[in-house]
Homo-oligomer: A and B are copies of this chain.
Amino acid sequence: MTADSPRTRPVILGQNQYGKADNRVVRITRDGDTHHIKDLNVSVALSGDMEDVHYSGSNAHVLPTDTTKNTVYAFAKKHGIESAEQFGIHLARHFVTSQEPIEVARIRIEEYSWERIATSDASARFIGADEVEHSFVRRGQETRTAQITYDGEKWQIISGLKDLVVMNSTHSEFWGYVKDEYTTLEEAHDRILATEVSARWRFNWTDDETRMPNWEKSYEQTRKHMLQAFAETYSLSLQQTLYQMGSRVINHRGEIDEIRFSLPNKHHFLVDLEPFGLQNDNEVYFAADRPYGLIEATVLRDGTTPRIPVDMTNL
């Protein structure tokens, strides 16, 4: 490299970001003998005036990723963790406002939820009912996600969930599709519909001047509406179910303008038992792994601009 200025280089730097990923922080809050847990995985990505570190290796604008890690733990103490979104807002604001070269901060958070272990009556009598409020079992169902982006003026909050596996054992059909020379699939008038929901939804809150949503309540309600729409839709295609799940959320949650789903069709194939003299009346299924159908779409409030990236899955 003998070129001495970016202007004359034949090769230039494009979008770039850096930070510390997968900071696992557990925050215990003690309310007398009753403890509460927040269990997060926090990833920080910062971007801004970073040409020098790429072109010459000068770190004069680089806050070390190790420092961003320290900040996560320090803020868990200073601000507590009211919700993943609120915690991310504290972090993003700090990086953008305290570091001149940082123009945008994006915080991604995964949250794992816990429930209390129900203890026996005998134990409650023996050691005191309130003393056992420090024992937890991880729920292990979906993983909650949040992405908080701040550019010094506006906020973009995209919350979501993944790993939520659902199944309807009936009320699903698939027929009337295009048939070309490579089509061998038989039409189905009663099939299992199962998927592992990945969803991300964008809030229309963007401005410190306006009232923030109640992040915890919004999550619980959004999750509920998705599950209920999945359960209550008589499905002619997974696309139809997806749209029902999305429109239910947009219609019920005024704070959300856009939602994007990535729904693998977890195929459950009816096993052919006729060779064994048995009839399979929608009773015995082979749960297949790969390949799988993959249905992805954005559902949004009319008049708003979609901003959730199309690709939620890795290459």
Contact = CB atoms under 8 A, between A and B. Distances in A.
Contacts of A289: 24, 289-290
**Residue among A69, A169, A244 with most chain B CB within 10 A:** A169
B60 A178 contact: yes
Interface in A1-60: 1, 9-30, 35, 37, 39, 43, 45, 50, 53-60
Contacts of A208: none
6 contacts: A9-B247, A11-B246, A13-B243, A22-B292, A27-B284, A73-B271
A52 to B, nearest CB: 9
A185 B67 contact: yes
A212 interface: no
A78 interface: yes
Interface residues on A, range: 35 or more
Given A65-B265, A169-B28, A178 B99 contact: yes
A244 B70 CA distance: 29
Contacts of A285: 25-28
A251 B122 CA distance: 15
A90 interface: no
Interface string A295-307: 1111111100010
A242 interface: yes
Given A117-B166, A227-B137, A180 B315 contact: no
